[in-house]
Amino acid sequence: MKHVVIVGGGITGLSAAFSLQNQIEDKNLPIRVTLIEAENRLGGKIRTEYHDDFVIERGPDSYLKRKKAMTDLIERLGLDYDLVNNHAGQAYILHGTNLYPMPEGAVMGVPTEISPFLASGLFSLKGKARAGLDLVLPKSRTKGDQSVGAFFKRRLGDEVVENLIEPLLSGVYAGNIDKISLESTFPQFQDIESQYRSLIMGMKQTKPKKSEKSSKGAFLTLKKGLSSLVKALEDSLAGRVELKIGTTVEGLNKSDSGYALHLSDGAQIEADEVVMTVPARKAAKFFNDDIKELIGEVPATSVATIAMAFPESAIPGSFDGTGFVISKKSPFTITACTWTNLKWPHTTPAGHVLLRCYVGREHDQAIVDESDETILSKTLADLQKIMKIEDKPEFYYVTRWKKAMPQYLVGHLERKKQLHERMEKHYPGIQITGASLDGIGLPDCVVAGENAADKVIKTLTEKAI
Ligand code: FAD
């Protein structure tokens, strides 16, 4: 029997274990699998809270539908009856102290329809004219990677980037777009420039035609919360894979058979293959300086979410839409707010409103270390100015995610390639994967886990021949 150890029971580790064990059983291979998770629960950043009839996501709340790996996994687990689409309402950008609707036709902030863009109060005339230059500017001569900020500023000008693109992208990466790698986050934009020259024209050509556009939103989630996926994975793996929950891997060294892992319960286990899915900064300590140097270069931002429930009567006026993101220059602590009961009606019982705000961004992470009460009072002060909410919530949950949003800096793909080469050389049989390296979205993590499983099967079957 060969032994594979997966370190970390977030979505990457769970997907790896599920795919690996399914293949082992399908092919009747003499391989056993152990998954080790430090916390007393599986799921990592996936964490659903059930409060009366509310379904509250403390980490991720959904995933991009067009990335199929999550839906495939959900279908394989028989949970697809529970999938639900977001309500595709208007999204807003808060600039200064005003909420502006996202201009119709904007795709990740890139305008593809001229009239709504020209009519938007979000940009000055000068800003609009500068964005229009995209139609005539030549292609970039830049070879290799560049920052997301530099790319968009060159094509569309500073104002469109600051007022629209930066707040939208920061909602996903909580990072500094002037440092984040275009190649590893949005390679499609680079491709569009090289194919169509103009970003606006290229996006217009490639976006789905109106008739093909679905009236449903672009995101999916599970009605009983994303933790129901974790529970289904745990139930499926129980008895097939050894699950060591509440056990930390504290050390790792080479041994005669492969690797020895030292666990917090004092045990030492031997592994032929290891799949390391813990965040890069935690994985770094297991390896030599050559590896540390590379994975230590993936910084991560701290953020906190605050979910708040109000009676409907506490919200003055009528808000119709999915929520808003906030431009960096606006004088607020919160960086985004989802009108969860409108975007995801299944989460909230009738007569209530559920809001989820984010705090923490690359240049303002200290807020995450403040007390729950301080985070609440700063959030409420912002909401009072933006939405005129005067009341305190019926209940709230603050969730801190320390160094949790990986930042793929310019050159990330090149560093990843070097990492793989050095791992092959110094630590054959160990794979490092997960959100810190291979994509932060849930579907990307599923793909990363499944790819790691495929590689383990390939290596072990080749060794056996
Ligand atoms: P993790 O979930 O971090 O799992 C790693 C696991 O390793 C953890 O359980 C940890 O306890 C364990 N571990 C660490 N050290 C050890 C050790 N020494 N021994 C054993 N175990 C160890 N993505 C989306 O697609 N949609 C969203 O809406 C979305 N929203 C997000 C909102 C927030 C607030 C955050 C923080 C992230 C969000 N993401 C979203 C990103 C997504 O949630 C993550 O990228 C993904 O869950 C990471 O999964 P993972 O398995 O790679 O890592």
Residue 272 CA, ligand 1 centroid: distance in Å: 25
Residue 308 CA, ligand 1 centroid: distance in Å: 23
Residue 10 CA, ligand 1 centroid: distance in Å: 5
pLDDT the model gives residue 169: 86
Q: pTM of the predicted model, to two decimals?
A: 0.96
Pairing of strands 63-64, 54-57: unpaired
What is the three-class DSSP state of 212? helix
Cβ atoms of residues 337 and 323 within 8 Å = yes
Instruction: Please write the tens of the pLDDT for every residue from 216-241.
Output: 788 999 999 999 999 999 999 999 99
Give, as one character, the DSSP assignment of residue 384: H
pLDDT the model gives residue 227: 98
Please tell me the distance from the alpha carbon of residue 112 to that of residue 190, in angstroms, as a whole number: 16
Between 148-156 and 187-196, two packed helices, what is the crossing angle to 10 degrees? Answer: 40
Q: Which residues lie closer than 8 Å to 296 by C-beta, 6 or more apart?
A: 280, 281, 284
Q: How confident is the model at residue 205 (pLDDT cuts 50, 70, 90)?
A: confident
Instruction: Please write the tens of the pLDDT for every residue from 411-447.
Output: 999 999 999 999 999 999 999 999 999 999 999 999 9
Instruction: Specify the ligand 1 atom closest to the Cα of 434.
Output: 52
Q: How confident is the model at residue 204 (pLDDT cuts 50, 70, 90)?
A: confident
Ligand 1 atom 4: the closest Cα is on which residue? 10
Q: Is the pLDDT of residue 375 over 70?
A: yes
pLDDT the model gives residue 172: 77
**Domains of the chain and any CATH numbers:** 2-44+226-298+408-464 (3.50.50.60), 103-206 (1.10.3110.10), 300-406 (3.90.660.20)
Instruction: Specify the ligand 1 atom closest to the Cα of 12.
Output: 51
Please tell me the distance from the alpha carbon of residue 363 to that of residue 326, in angstroms, as a whole number: 14
Q: Is the pLDDT of residue 211 over 60?
A: no
Ligand 1 atom 14: the closest Cα is on which residue? 278
Cβ atoms of residues 36 and 249 within 8 Å = yes
Q: Residue type for 232, please? A: A
Report CA Rg, the chain.
23
Give, as one character, the DSSP assignment of residue 216: S
Q: Among 53-67, 95-109, 434-448, whose mean pLDDT is lowest?
A: 95-109
Tell the burial category of 80 from Cβ atoms under 10 Å away from its Cβ (0-12, 13-18, 19+). Answer: middle
Instruction: Specify the ligand 1 atom closest to the Cα of 13.
Output: 51
* DSSP per residue, 133-170: GGGTPPPP---S--BHHHHHHHHH-HHHIIIIIHHHHH
Instruction: Specify the ligand 1 atom closest to the Cα of 58.
Output: 34
Please tell me the distance from the alpha carbon of residue 356 to that of residue 154, in angstroms, as a whole number: 34
Residue 351 CA, ligand 1 centroid: distance in Å: 33
Q: Which residues pair with 7 in a beta bridge?
A: 36, 276
Instruction: Please write the tens of the pLDDT for every residue from 315-325.
Output: 987 788 899 99
Q: How confident is the model at residue 212 (pLDDT cuts 50, 70, 90)?
A: low
Q: Is the pLDDT of residue 110 over 70?
A: yes
Ligand 1 atom 39: the closest Cα is on which residue? 60
Residue 435 CA, ligand 1 centroid: distance in Å: 7
Residue 402 CA, ligand 1 centroid: distance in Å: 11
Pocket perturbation via mutation, ligand 1, pick of 6, 36, 41, 45 by most ligand atoms within 8 A of CB? 45
Pocket perturbation via mutation, ligand 1, pick of 278, 305, 359, 361 by most ligand atoms within 8 A of CB? 278
Ligand 1 atom 15: the closest Cα is on which residue? 278
Which helix H or strand E contains 190, and what residues bound it?
Answer: helix 187-196
Residue 313 CA, ligand 1 centroid: distance in Å: 36
Residue 456 CA, ligand 1 centroid: distance in Å: 22
Residue 281 CA, ligand 1 centroid: distance in Å: 13
pLDDT the model gives residue 236: 98
Residue whose structure tokens are 């270390």: 369
The closest alpha carbon to 191, from 227, 139, 250, belongs to 139
- Where does residue 424 fall: left (phi above 0), alpha (psi -120 to 50 degrees), or beta otherwise? alpha
Residue 16 CA, ligand 1 centroid: distance in Å: 14
Ligand 1 atom 25: the closest Cα is on which residue? 441
For ligand 1, residues with CB inside 6 Å are 7-13, 36-39, 44-46, 59-63, 248-249, 277-279, 282, 303, 305, 401, 404-405, 434-435, 440-442, 445
The closest alpha carbon to 198, from 112, 129, 106, belongs to 112
The closest alpha carbon to 281, from 414, 406, 134, 103, belongs to 406
Instruction: Please write the tens of the pLDDT for every residue from 255-264.
Output: 988 999 999 9
pLDDT the model gives residue 327: 86
Please tell me the distance from the alpha carbon of residue 97 to that of residue 75, in angstroms, as a whole number: 44
Please tell me the distance from the alpha carbon of residue 147 to that of residue 283, in angstroms, as a whole number: 26
Residue 174 CA, ligand 1 centroid: distance in Å: 15
CA distances (Å), origin 43, targets 40, 48, 230: 10, 10, 6
Cβ atoms of residues 164 and 109 within 8 Å = yes
Ligand 1 atom 3: the closest Cα is on which residue? 44
Ligand 1 atom 33: the closest Cα is on which residue? 59
